[in-house]
A and B are shown apart, each in its own frame.
Chain A
Amino acid sequence: MIEVNFRIRDGKDFVELSGGFPEDATVLDALETLRARAEGAAPAARVPHYRHSCHHGSCGTCGAVVNGLPSLMCLSRLSDLAAPRPREPGGPAVEPSHGPSGELVVTLEPLTRGSLVAGIAARPTSALEGIPEEYSYLRPSEDAGRASLPADPTRDGEKLPALDGAVSPPLSGRVRFEACIECGLCSAACPVTAPFLGPAALAAVNRHREKAPESAESMLALAAGADGAPACERHLHCSRVCPQAVYPGKHIQLLRKALAGRAQ
């Protein structure tokens, strides 16, 4: 067990809530436990609002600034927070803070650049606004030399007539979702203050350029804007905090290269 004092931002104040939790519990597990415990309690004892859905790093809703670092609360284990960890994106690892009786202090704040609902619940709306509408969330799966999919009567056009305006035709080979879970941690970590589409949107622009060569020109036009790749100052904090190894910084670099190639 590990004793934790959570300091959770609620407007101008912090709500402090303590408890003992298993070491392998995540910050989200702990908040859920505290919330269940406070059921029916007076409003002052309630856990400030937070976002969550999948509890395994797939939906992208549970982003928060955990001890200074934009993180997914469902993947942040208390044992990791008890070890040295950077206090800001790209910063050096720092010893954790402890309270007077040795309890671990964990500070939770809403994602910066998000639209705040209440407590630490902030939606990364602006981080996702620049994702092109035509960008498909599906991509071919790494088939690693496996046999191609067998005949499938449900792919028959009669069973599956296309609807007008469908976003993307379902691919026929092995497919999977893109890695980006649209959590907005990258934008929260990004120090750029000028108008900027942001790392996640530019990563999507580059992915779409790679997957749909016919849109390469329109994607490069997006990337070339003043709020596109040129706004990036190469801090690379986006790639450091991304929980899905999307490496948005690398995608921005690829866009820059393609733009430079086009200019020649």
Chain B
Amino acid sequence: MFDPPIPGRHDVRICVVGGGGSGAALAYDLALRGFSVLLLEKGEFTSGTTGRHHGQLHSGARYAVGDRAIARECMEETLVLRRIVPEAIEYNGGIFAAIRDDEADYAPAFVSACLESGIPAREIPVTEARALEPVLNPALKRAVWVPDGTLDAYRLAASFLAAAAALGADLRAFTELVGIEVSDGRIRGGTVRGPDAREERVSFDVLVSATGAWAGRVGSLAGLDIPVTPAPGTMVAVRGRLSDLVLSRLAPPGDGDILVPQRGLSIIGSTQSRADSPEGILPTRAEIEFLRVRADELAPGFSRAPFHAAWAAARPLAGRAASDAEGRGISRDFAVLDHGAEGVSGMFTLIGGKATVLRAMARKAADAVCGFLDVEEPCRTADYPLPSWRAL
């Protein structure tokens, strides 16, 4: 029975825009801190980037060489998620595989960066790696074990939504924020278009936009300039569970370098390009072909397995990237933007990050809201197992 105590109620109405993982975790965090929460999602919950991501529970190993802080946060959050929402995780660990000589040379730097980030990575003999996952390329030169796993993208986010709903949050799917009302430099409310296409005015004291690749559009409703470029990435699934462990290339993050098992599928990803709009993004033939070739390098035979599906999801790229190459360099960190200085006091944007760190993202945004309201309420989302997504 999910029944966490709510120490005190605050007479403040907070609107969270976006029903992806970030908005879901934020709605739960704020409700647990005693706020009255309204969550708006223009489509079905998780119909944005969240439902379509690659589904890797990141130990942080992938990011360790580049950014220890991000890696450490991933490790901490995977442990929290494995406790509060174990049913949405296939936890089997992962292997970083060196197939080429330069990848083998990368192993020592990789392992020490992981250890410095609190990730208990360790090199394992090639024979052990191939006994664990015989599908690995026989050309395997070195292998490193890491505590990676698989997420159910939808059920992870939906469990947070179910928790928010159980605490009385008003969650509205198929309800789009179409207008933001600001007067005297403060947010007052907005206009929403409901499932029946009727428009309605709603009032709230604080607005947090957790709209990912749509953040620029939502910002513009309040006259803000939030430069965000949608950066789609493609994934390809074949039938057959080639491995239980997540398989990655032992190399700096690149394209087509992660193979994630999930149920009876094996999924290779991803790529990165740029788009004008986050809507209606479909994979290209060239991306699908590229990914199949890359997958064969990790697990020969991937491309011979029956094709299941190909799809794309849009990352929110900070700034207006002029080229794809520029886009690849972006940080996987997240940010909470306070729009008070731009004349919209009470409005925040939560953007970036990873599904793995959705709870940490929510904590930072909720802390910012508490700071703005001058309310002291600690984050308690790590303390309770979430209710089933079926309760949503």
Residues of A that sit less than 8 Å from B by CB? 25-26, 29, 32-33, 35-37, 39, 43, 46, 49-61, 74-75, 117-118, 121, 128, 131, 133, 136-138, 141-143, 146-147, 149-150, 152-154, 159-170, 174-177, 179, 181-182, 244
Contact = CB atoms under 8 A, between A and B. Distances in A.
Contacts of A60: 154
A176 B88 CA distance: 10
Contact of A53 (B50, B263, B279): B50
Nearest to B120: A153
18 contacts: A32-B279, A43-B197, A52-B44, A52-B51, A53-B51, A56-B265, A57-B308, A58-B262, A61-B46, A138-B86, A138-B87, A147-B131, A150-B132, A150-B145, A167-B388, A175-B92, A176-B262, A179-B264
A137 B385 contact: no
Interface string B68-89: 0000000000110011101111
Contact of B84 (A36, A53, A163): A163
B80 to A, nearest CB: 10
Given A59-B154, A117-B174, A160-B82, A149 B128 contact: no
A35 to B, nearest CB: 6
B259 interface: no
Contacts of B202: none
A247 B93 CA distance: 30
B241 A141 contact: yes
Contact of A168 (B87, B90, B244, B282): B87
Given A55-B52, A75-B308, 12 more contacts: A51-B43, A52-B47, A54-B154, A61-B51, A138-B90, A141-B90, A149-B132, A154-B147, A164-B385, A167-B87, A174-B244, A176-B241
Nearest to B382: A163
Nearest to A52: B47
Nearest to B280: A36
B155 interface: yes
A103 to B, nearest CB: 20
Interface string B183-202: 00000000000011100000
Interface of B: 1-2, 43-47, 50-52, 78-79, 82-84, 86-93, 120, 124, 128, 131-134, 145, 147, 152-155, 173-174, 195-197, 235, 237, 241, 244, 261-265, 267, 277, 279-282, 308-309, 311, 383-385, 388, 390
Contact of B93 (A59, A149, A167): A149
Contacts of A56: 235, 237, 265, 267, 308-309, 311
A154 B145 CA distance: 12
A147 B45 CA distance: 39
Given A150-B145, A175-B92, A137 B241 contact: no
B140 to A, nearest CB: 15
Contacts of B263: 58, 176-177, 179, 181, 244
Nearest to A116: B195
A75 B239 CA distance: 13
A154 B241 CA distance: 24
B86 A59 contact: no
A58 B261 CA distance: 12
Given A54-B51, A121-B44, A141-B241, A174 B83 contact: no
B147 A53 contact: no
B93 A170 contact: no
A152 B132 contact: no
Nearest to B124: A150
A166 B87 CA distance: 10
B86 A159 contact: no
